[in-house]
Structure 1
C-alpha cells in the first residue's frame, strides 16, 4: 500500500516541472520509495522527470510522512514536518532576501534546492532536488568523520550561523516573526511517550560500559535523570547569543560530494539535510552535536583547529553584511558557550553512537508496526543487536575528552 496520493503528487510535480523546464510535454517516473526506512519520520520517493522535446531532466525527491496513527502519536511527526517546511518556506528565503540586499548572488552553499511542500495533517510531504544525481552521497552509518570532512562541515555551519545572526541583528522583527513560534522537536519529545526510549538508550549505554569495566561519574548522572537533565540543558532562556540552529547535525543528516584529484579522492562539497529539529539556541550547539555524535578520535584531538575554522568562516560571512564578529558573536562568548552547553549534545551524541553500533544488517520497516498491533516500532529498535566493542571504543575517547574539557568537574 502506497504511503501517498499518487494523483496529487503527480499534479504537483507537473507544476514544478512546467515552471522549471517551461514544458508541458514531460514524462514522469516515480521510484518505488524506501521499503525499509532509515528513520521513522517518513519515506523517501525518487522522482525522475524528462522533457520529451529537449530531453532536459529534473531530478526530484519527495519526503513523505508516515500515516500510521500509533507511530505519529508516539513521536512528533507533524511538528517535525511543520518545522522543516517553515525552514524552507520562510527562514531560508529570508536569508536569501537579505543576501540579495547586499548583492550576494550566491545562496548559502550547504542548502539543498527546495520546490514544494504540504503540512496538511497526515499528508505532509516535502519535494526538493535529488542531489544524489549530482554525485552527493550518504556516508556509511559507522563512518566517523575525519578532519577533512569536519573542516568543511564546521565552515558550513559558520556561514549559516553568521547569516542567521546577521538577520537577527539587521532585521530583528523578521527574525522574531519566523523563529518566535518555533517548537523544538527534541524538547517536545521529552514530554511524549518516546521519552522512555530516550532514557532506556542511556541506561543501555551505561550497562555496556559497565560490562567493559568502565564507569564514569558523568555517565551515571546522565543515566539517573536523562530527561530532567535534557529539559534543563535545552532551556536557553537568558542566553544572549543565539541563532537559528540545525539541531540534529549528525552525519546521517549530511550528504557529501567527493572528487578524484591526482588519483586521490577528496571532499569537495557538503549539503545539510533534515531540518525538522531546528530551533533557536547557542550556535555552538550544532558543532558540538556533530562532534559528540559523529566525529572520530582525530577530530577531538584537533578540535581547537576546527573551532578556529568555524569562527573564521563565521567572521568572513558577517563581513559580507558589514558586521563585525566581535560585536555580533564575540570569540570569548563562543568559548563560554562551548564550556557551558555541552551536556545536551553529549547525551544525544552518545545515543547516536549507539545507533551507529547497530547490526549493519538490521532492517526495520515501520509499516509493519500498525496501529492495530500491540508491538511498536520502538520495541523492535530495542531488540536490535549492536556491537558492544564498537560502542565502547567510540565512547571511551569521548569521555577522555570530557575529562580534559571539564577538569573532571561534572556539576550539572
Structure 2
C-alpha cells in the first residue's frame, strides 16, 4: 500500500480517537508477511505527546496476487462484516445482561471495503504481551480448555441473539457463500494433503485409504455440504479457521499459566454448525495425549456454552441439548478432520521445509513436499480416531 494512503488512514483513526498531538511511527517500514495469513501487515505506534500514552495499531492490507483476487475479496468482505456488524450486536447484547462483557477479539478501528484496496485496522496486542504459540507444538491441555471455554462464550452469544431477537438474527447475513472459499487453488491445497493421507494408509488399511481418496476426489462437494447450516439444529456465528496462528495468548504475570486469549482473523466467519469450530480446533491443535480425552474436551466446551447462555438469559439446553450436540457432531465433525489433515501437515513441518510466503504467490506456502515423522504420527492418530467414530 502506498505511503500516502497509509497516512490518510492513520489520520482518520487519530481523529476518531480525538488524538490531536500524536507522534506516528510505522515500526516496520517494509510490509511484513504474516505467517500463514493472506494479508500484508503494517504495525503502527502512536504516542500522545501530552500524556505519553501509546496506541498501537495493526493494519491488514489485502495482498496483490491476481490469481487469488476473488478469494481475497470474499475473505475481507466476511471479516469487515464481522467487525462492522456482528461484534457491535454481540457487545450490545452482553451489556444488557452484564457490566463487563467478555472480549474475544481485538479492538476494531476502521475498514476500507473498496475492491482491490481492502484494509482492516485494529489494535495491535503484541505491546500488551499477547503472542502466538509456536505452530510446531500442540496446545497444552490448559490452553485447549481455555480456548474451548472461550468458544462456549462466543457461541452462546449467537444462541442468545436468536432468543432475544429472531428477526435480527435471521437478517444477519454477510452475503458471502463460504463454500466459494473452497474452490480453485484452495481445493488443490487440501487435495495435496489428502493424497498424502490416503497414500499413507494404502498398505496398512485399504478401506481407510479408499475413504480418504473419496474425500480427495469429492472434496469440493463434501465441503459445500458441510458448510450448509443444519436443518435439525441451530446455527451460530462460527470462526471456521481456528488453527494455532489465529490465537493470541497472554501469559499470567504471576505464574506460567495463561491469563487471556484473543481470537483473530475472522475472514471466514459465517452462520453454520458450532461443530465446525470445535472439531477444527480440537483436531488441529490437540496433542496425541489430549486426543485420548476428546469427549472430555467437548464437555468443557458444552458446559461453558450452557453457563454463558444462562448469563445472557438463554436456555441453551432447550435449544441444543448435549445429545443434540453429539448428533450434530456426527454430521459435521468431518469438517474438522479435513481441515486438520492440511493444518497438521503445515504445523508440524520444520521451518526450512515450509516454502516462503510470497505475496505474489500466496499459494506456494500451502504445499508440503514430504511429511516428516511427526506429521505422520499425528495424521495416523487423527485418521484412526475418525475411523473409530465413523467420521470418514
Structure 1's 175 and 339: CA in aligned 2 closer, same or farther, altered over 3 A? same
Aligned 1:1-400 pairs, distance under 5 A: 4-20=1-17, 22-30=18-26, 31-39=28-36, 41-73=38-70, 76-102=71-97, 104-179=98-173, 181-185=174-178, 187-210=179-202, 216-217=208-209, 218-261=211-254, 264-361=255-352, 362-367=354-359, 369=360, 376-378=361-363, 381-382=366-367, 384-400=368-384
Structure 1 SS opposite 2:212: helix
How many residues align structurally?
A: 388
Question: Among residues 383, 387, 392, which one is paired with 1:403 in the alignment?
Answer: 387
Gaps of 5+ in 2: none
**Larger displacement relative to structure 2 (131-140 or 36-45):** 36-45
Give, in whole Å, the separation in 1 of the partners of 2:155 and 2:383.
Answer: 28
Structure-1-length-normalised TM-score? 0.87
Could you tell me how far 1:380 is from its partner in structure 2?
Answer: 6.2
Could you tell me how far 1:363 is from its partner in structure 2?
Answer: 4.8
Could you tell me how far 1:16 is from its partner in structure 2?
Answer: 2.0
Structure-2-length-normalised TM-score? 0.92
Root-mean-square deviation (CA), in Å?
2.2
**Larger displacement relative to structure 2 (227-236 or 295-304):** 227-236
Contact 1:311–1:331 (8 Å) recurs in 2: yes
Gaps of 5+ in 1: 370-375
Structure 1's 403 and 197: CA in aligned 2 closer, same or farther, altered over 3 A? closer
